[in-house]
Structure 1
Amino acid sequence: MSAQDLAGRAAAHKIARPVPLRESVHEALLELIIRRAVRPGEHLAESELAEMLGVSRQPVREALQHLSREGWVDLHPGHGAFVHVPTFAEADQLLAVRCLLETEAARLAARHRTDEAIGRLRERCMRGMAAIEAGDNDAVVALNAELHGIVMELAGNAVLTDLAAQVSRRVRWFQSPVALQRGDLAWKEHAELIDNLDRGDAEGAAEVMRRHTDHTRELYLRRLAQEEPARPEAERRRPRRTPATSGR
């Protein structure tokens, strides 16, 4: 993969020098991974990334090491850095935890509903449906994260919000491949959720959120199971560690 090809896929901007360089490079690379501009298993060449971001190789190397500690990147001596390939167990565990957190958030949000928050949720829902019709995957994923973030904010539980923040970026990573496949149904579920929140129906909102997050989990796991036989044998047998969920 050439630097020109990578730059075109990422549509990344040069790193602004006044911002702490190591952190800026970390965030830029993490966003590429989350958006799957670089895909699981893809080689991350320091020289190409440095050229794309307009920095030297040193901050890129430091960022890759940090991403490795967080579980986003696998470093293989003599071969370089590769985007982490999630296992079935990793995806299942993370998305199961997400379901638990967001179900409780929906229950609490219904008890703390405000007209202003309901208005914001409906606006995101309308934009999400438009993004589905336009086939804009990045917009669908971003708007989904915003909508779920508003629900979490409305729940008003700081501990729950902090736990959700730890998994939110990785949830975006898992959702990206199936966002368009979920299609209108996901946003109809969002609309149903918002109606329950608007009525203050805590148990109804919790049940819709549970079903909604379970549907995404089941679809992603089916897709991952279908892709598993296509992986090289050495890749399937390589031990995998459970990645950190730091949202840094």
Structure 2
Amino acid sequence: MSSAGLPQGTVPRLERPGPLRERVYDALLELIAARTLRPGQHLVESELAGRLGVSRQPVREALQRLNTDGWVDLRPAQGAFVHEPTEEEADQLLSVCSLLEAEAARLAAANSGSAGIAALERLCAQGEQAVADDDVDLAAAADAAFRAKVMELAGNVVLAELAGQVDRRVRWYCAPVVGRRGKQSWIEHRELVAAISARDEGRAVEVMRAHAEHTRTTVHERSDRT
């Protein structure tokens, strides 16, 4: 397995003011969620410390916390490795995500005005263009922004907080399948926008559940081939 060597410029050096161990944790977590640090990758404390511009101690503390939170595996006599999500973990997460996003879609259909619908349409256009340009990273970012916008339009703070807690892990698990779903994913997003625009709560729930199930199926298919 490769070490934690990162391309120059991918990790900004951290400024000193503030709770350093929290900022190191957040920085490493984002690198893992974005798959800059790949599943299974060996994480070398000294290399990470050098890239982040900190000592090894806050890196060690962050890795221990990431292990507790399920993002990193600490192996005796081997060191730290980015956790490799299992199919069962992905399935459980996507089941929860499906419930949250279906309710968000229903509430968005009940509450959204023209400005919110226009914002969703703009995000669809961005995602469709990213797919046409074969820009997987931009497509993934547009997809995350679209889902976040639906959650915002739902207008339920508690629901948004719960969704926020799983969002990074959803991005982490689903990043490899975004490119494979491609154009079809945005066709489904357009169907959701149409349901929200028509204030059809039942249809919005139906479309979102179908979208989540298609994503889960793609994750399973990918796991079967690896």
> The residue matched to 1:40 in structure 2 has which SS?
coil
Q: How does 1:114-133 map to 2 (within 5 A)?
A: 114-133=113-132
Unaligned ranges ≥5, structure 1: 228-248
Conserved 8 A contact 1:117-1:154 = yes
Corresponding residue for residue 18 of structure 1 = 17
> For each residue in 1:4-36, what CA deviation from the matched residue of structure 2 results, as whole angstroms up to 9, or x when unmatched?
x4134x711111222421111111111111111
Conserved 8 A contact 1:7-1:52 = no
Conserved 8 A contact 2:85-2:173 = no
Counterpart check, 1:184 vs 2:179: no
Q: Which amino acid is the alignment partner of residue 6 of structure 1?
A: L
> The residue matched to 1:74 in structure 2 has which SS?
strand
> The residue matched to 1:7 in structure 2 has which SS?
coil
User: After alignment, is 163-172 or 19-28 more displaced?
Assistant: 19-28
Give 1:127 deviation, angstroms: 0.8
> The residue matched to 1:71 in structure 2 has which SS?
coil
TM-score by length of 2: 0.94
Corresponding residue for residue 198 of structure 1 = 197
Q: Which amino acid is the alignment partner of residue 109 of structure 1?
A: A
TM-score by length of 1: 0.86
> For each residue in 1:169-195, what CA deviation from the matched residue of structure 2 results, as whole angstroms up to 9, or x when unmatched?
100001110111110110111111111
For residues 18 and 126 of structure 2, the distance between their equivalents in structure 1, rounded to whole angstroms, comes to 32
Aligned length: 225
Corresponding residue for residue 57 of structure 1 = 56
For residues 28 and 129 of structure 1, the distance between their equivalents in structure 2, rounded to whole angstroms, comes to 29
Conserved 8 A contact 2:3-2:44 = no
Conserved 8 A contact 1:101-1:164 = yes
Corresponding residue for residue 27 of structure 1 = 26
Corresponding residue for residue 105 of structure 2 = 106
Q: How large is the RMSD of aligned CA atoms in angstroms?
A: 1.5
For residues 78 and 154 of structure 1, the distance between their equivalents in structure 2, rounded to whole angstroms, comes to 49
Q: Which amino acid is the alignment partner of residue 69 of structure 2?
A: E
Corresponding residue for residue 242 of structure 1 = none
Q: How does 1:25-174 map to 2 (within 5 A)?
A: 25-174=24-173
For residues 15 and 82 of structure 1, the distance between their equivalents in structure 2, rounded to whole angstroms, comes to 22
Q: Which amino acid is the alignment partner of residue 140 of structure 2?
A: V
Corresponding residue for residue 217 of structure 1 = 216
Give 1:2 deviation, angstroms: 6.1
For residues 94 and 12 of structure 2, the distance between their equivalents in structure 1, rounded to whole angstroms, comes to 31
Corresponding residue for residue 236 of structure 1 = none
User: After alignment, is 181-190 or 134-143 more displaced?
Assistant: 134-143
Corresponding residue for residue 6 of structure 1 = 6
Unaligned ranges ≥5, structure 2: none
> The residue matched to 2:6 in structure 1 has which SS?
helix
